[in-house]
Structure 1
Amino acid sequence: MEKWLFQSIWIAMFGFFKEFRPEDPYITQYLTNPPMNFTTEEIVQEIYPVATYTCVMLTVIVFLITDYLRYKPIVILNAVSSVMAQLLLIFTRTITSMKVMEVFYGTMTACEVAYYTYIYSKVEKKHYKIVSSHMKMACLIGRLVSALIAQVLIDYSILTVPQLNYMTLGGGLCSLLWAFGLPSVKSSLYFHQNPERTYIGETSRVNVFDTRTVCQRLWFDFYTAYSNPYVLQWCIWWSLGTCFYSQFMCYIQTLWQQIYDDGTDLQITDNGYVEAVYTIISTLGVYLVGIIAVPGWWLIGVLTFSQAILLFKMAQDHLLSHAYVGYIIFGTFYHVMSTVANCEVAKNIPEDSYALVFGVNMFVSLILQTFMTIIINSPIGLELTIRTQFYVYSGCCLIIGVLYLIKATVTTYKSQMKTTITVSTNH
């Protein structure tokens, strides 16, 4: 086996372990029932928002520290945060301890940038595409396996929902042990560069810490990417789309719980099956969009508009089966659109700036998500009910979908006009 392939698989295995979280499909159910017994309002307004606030405060810092410390320590911190969050879930019962748990969960999320950019420091650029797919597929497989195992164990009464926490803790411990065995990194994108890359006429030096030079490199990559109008438009959608997807994923279980409490057609313990189906269909959707040529702006406009309709329907639905289907479709649409957006951005920026652009887009998304959380969920905001929240998300997606449909229409019209003029000139 070639060295780069072995390293890719080795790092991808960490992604599998970190996503092996059988408790995740049932986390709201766990928090609202014995032994936790928190109210839905406490979960939505006080507990869940803490992770968002933590993540937005740490993202930029973690990105820079990741590069300076050369990835591995931050990957280890990701695993440590996961373990600490799970220990608090298992052994503590107060709302304060749950807020601390969310701090660790937010730290874990912020540290994921290290996992997704680690491999770029270990392989040549020609392998970037295939190793990126390894990273993504490992995480998806981890989610799929954990969801299926959780559902089977619940259905056959082998474990209860609270006991699934111990399996999630096991996955976290495995990821921690695996992280210590990851290969070390000698160079990074900014602070410890190889000498081949040149910025504004100056050759970088390896392992020389020069704040001014690093800032120049960061600004060069930032300006190169975001001064391109085409890249900027895709980055805007990515940040907005990811913001609403993150809000959706954070609070969808609360909506399910509300629908279940109101009386519905299914048992809420079917969450594991739904997560498994969602993962499989999303993976197929991402695969298909990678091999089928699609008009990007139209795809974004139509699917975002469709997401708005799905959110509106789920906000007023009283059938859990409909909400489950809506969850699967909404998530699949997001993964398809984000894959297209990532490809379009990647084709139009220098390869070495992937991590920076990814980090900036994520940071903007988190800022937007923080503002939404403060306005919608927090005690100083509107404190909207869960169904009203989904009406708000629906309206936001509707506006974005309409704007990108207008963009698609204008782009198509200009392209047709250009073709018509070219044909007329040739004749």
Structure 2
Amino acid sequence: MNWTRISLLLCVFGFVKEFRPSEPFVVEYLTGPWKNFTEEQVYQDLVPLYTYYYSVTLLPILLLTDFLRYKPIIILCGLSGTCSYIAIVLSKGVQDVQIISFLLGVFMSSEVAYFSYIYAKVSKLHYQEVTSHTRMALLLGRFTAGITSQLTVSTNLLDYHQLNYVSLLALGIATIWSFFLPPLGQSVYLHRPIGSVSNEPAPSKIDIGSPNQTERSSDQLFNLQQGTSLNNIEKEPSLAKKIKHVYYLLWKDFLLAYSNSYVLKWSLWWTLSTCGFMQVINYVQVLWQSSFEEAAKVYNGAVEAALTIMGALASFGVGKLKLNWPIIGEGTSSIIALIQGILLFIAAQTHNIWISYTAYVIFSVAYQAMITVASSEIAKHLSEDSYGLIFGMNTLVALLEQSLLTFLISGSQVFGLAVRPQYVVYGCYFVVLSVIFMIMAVHTLVKHRRSNKQFNLWESRLSTP
């Protein structure tokens, strides 16, 4: 099948899956007359459990995705999403929280198949195009859902409860659609020819300390630790050969990526920033609810729609900037994190819903811009086959960090802070992140200065290795 048709099929699934107009108003729904949850039950029981289940299910689903060749996990994504909304609609109270949280965790974890399926199905020549297509499909789905939810709620066409049926219908359609995706005959690791080992890093225009030397040293480290080679693997029985081959590829890609200090640095930003961002968005509706006046109109859907468009434009714009990120990356990250911390302090103190909305939008757009830079800089120094593994591992680490933060700050087991004190803590978190990267920025600039190299702001002036 032509790659454009495959991309179109996957994009339709992504768009419909993201069309969930009930999400901008989920806290209003749960604390409303339909479910009668208290705010404390939402942010101390439901959200923490969802975070824990997301963390626990991500790793096995990440491994199963390659083993089952993607399509079954995409189907699982649709099924778990559908079942989660059935559980939300039919739930009677707190006793159903664990079921809902588990299903939502599986739903979010299985999205990894959506992002990696296309890479195993199309030629590497089309990676950039299909990545753009699949990302835009998600953004368009979220934008359409935000607009739909705001219009239907503002015009009293649908209430918060009825919006769940629209989300349920969309996920049901996405599940049916997923069955029409073409199956894969191979995958990145398990189901591929034994001899097709490709671990060359993607070409880079940035000289950051000889990537080729990093690759050689990581290969040597791997061979020393394993004491094996592909020649030895090929002599073993078929099942053992496959298992060892997969282990070889996974471990080699892992070492090759994280032995590169540049990848490690941007992965640190990726995980810490993503952890804080996910924690903020998980509790933002609870924060907003504490700012609403009686009988005031709620504009959560419009805010999410505006945020989606602005985030997409910011990501696109940053992607076009050919800046010298190896030199200015840490400093820029530090400034952005400081701004985000200040915005969270403002959000924690204000009871004006419009100031809270504005702070959230700026905070999220700043995250989308910098995470685009981080993802791009990491990808430049990875082999194409290891994109899913490394970004999956970064997501897993971010989720584990978020689970720890949730356990300490949000859950009832330790501090169990109310939502406004939580946002003060999250503000401090980003300030500390800013300090860490400012120290790294000073170190990078001093090192660059001592090397007597010219300071260049733009990447286009750098020499290629």
Equivalent residue number for residue 361 of structure 2: 328
In the alignment, does 2:421 pair up with 1:388? yes
1:410 counterpart (429, 443, 448): 443
Tell me the CA shift for residue 286 of structure 1: 0.4
- Inter-CA distance 180–421: structure 2 relative to 1 (3 Å threshold): closer
In the alignment, does 2:395 pair up with 1:362? yes
Tell me the CA shift for residue 221 of structure 1: 0.6
In the alignment, does 2:186 pair up with 1:153? no
| Contiguous gaps of at least 5 residues in structure 1 | 423-427
In the alignment, does 2:318 pair up with 1:286? no
Deviations 1:318-352 (A, max 9, x none): 10001101111111111111110110000011110
Structure 2 CA distance for aligned equivalents of residues 421 and 122 of structure 1: 44
Q: TM-score, normalised by structure 1?
A: 0.94
Which structure 2 residues correspond to residues 44-123 of structure 1 after superposition, within 5 A?
44-123=43-122
Deviations 1:188-210 (A, max 9, x none): 011101455227762898xx542
User: AA paired with 2:402?
Assistant: Q
Tell me the CA shift for residue 154 of structure 1: 1.0
SS at match of 1:107: helix
Tell me the CA shift for residue 258 of structure 1: 1.2
Which structure 2 residues correspond to residues 184-199 of structure 1 after superposition, within 5 A?
184-195=183-194, 197-198=196-197
Equivalent residue number for residue 33 of structure 1: 32
Equivalent residue number for residue 342 of structure 2: 309
Tell me the CA shift for residue 89 of structure 1: 1.3
Tell me the CA shift for residue 92 of structure 1: 1.8
Could you say what the CA RMSD is over the residues aligned between the two structures, in angstroms?
1.9
- Inter-CA distance 301–240: structure 2 relative to 1 (3 Å threshold): same
Tell me the CA shift for residue 169 of structure 1: 0.5
Are the equivalent residues in 2 in contact too, given 1:76–1:180 (CA < 8 A)? Answer: yes
Structure 1 CA distance for aligned equivalents of residues 130 and 453 of structure 2: 42
Deviations 1:74-108 (A, max 9, x none): 01111111111111111222112133111100110
Deviations 1:106-126 (A, max 9, x none): 110110111110100011112
Structure 1 CA distance for aligned equivalents of residues 128 and 441 of structure 2: 27
Structure 1 CA distance for aligned equivalents of residues 371 and 38 of structure 2: 34
Structure 1 CA distance for aligned equivalents of residues 247 and 305 of structure 2: 43
Structure 2 CA distance for aligned equivalents of residues 195 and 131 of structure 1: 26
Are the equivalent residues in 1 in contact too, given 2:186–2:192 (CA < 8 A)? Answer: yes
Q: Across the two proteins, how many residue pairs are aligned to each other?
A: 417
Deviations 1:107-151 (A, max 9, x none): 101101111101000111121112111111111100000110111
Equivalent residue number for residue 246 of structure 1: 278
2:296 counterpart (264, 267, 273): 267
Are the equivalent residues in 2 in contact too, given 1:113–1:359 (CA < 8 A)? Answer: yes
Tell me the CA shift for residue 372 of structure 1: 0.8
Are the equivalent residues in 2 in contact too, given 1:257–1:268 (CA < 8 A)? Answer: no
SS at match of 1:5: helix
2:230 counterpart (202, 227, 235): 202
Deviations 1:355-404 (A, max 9, x none): 10011101101110111111112221101010010011111110111211
Structure 2 CA distance for aligned equivalents of residues 354 and 268 of structure 1: 43
- Inter-CA distance 160–196: structure 2 relative to 1 (3 Å threshold): same
SS at match of 1:338: helix
Structure 1 CA distance for aligned equivalents of residues 134 and 243 of structure 2: 31
Structure 2 CA distance for aligned equivalents of residues 131 and 73 of structure 1: 20
Equivalent residue number for residue 290 of structure 2: 258
Deviations 1:145-174 (A, max 9, x none): 011011111111111111100110011011
User: AA paired with 1:93?
Assistant: K
Equivalent residue number for residue 384 of structure 2: 351
| Contiguous gaps of at least 5 residues in structure 2 | 199-222, 224-228, 456-465
User: AA paired with 1:405?
Assistant: M
Are the equivalent residues in 2 in contact too, given 1:45–1:377 (CA < 8 A)? Answer: yes
Tell me the CA shift for residue 53 of structure 1: 0.9
User: AA paired with 1:248?
Assistant: V
Structure 2 CA distance for aligned equivalents of residues 393 and 421 of structure 1: 38
SS at match of 2:381: coil
SS at match of 1:163: helix
Structure 1 CA distance for aligned equivalents of residues 297 and 267 of structure 2: 36
SS at match of 2:375: helix
Structure 2 CA distance for aligned equivalents of residues 156 and 196 of structure 1: 61
Deviations 1:51-84 (A, max 9, x none): 1111111111101111000000001111111111
Structure 2 CA distance for aligned equivalents of residues 326 and 34 of structure 1: 29
Structure 2 CA distance for aligned equivalents of residues 239 and 166 of structure 1: 34
User: AA paired with 1:123?
Assistant: V
Are the equivalent residues in 2 in contact too, given 1:241–1:334 (CA < 8 A)? Answer: yes
- Inter-CA distance 219–293: structure 2 relative to 1 (3 Å threshold): same
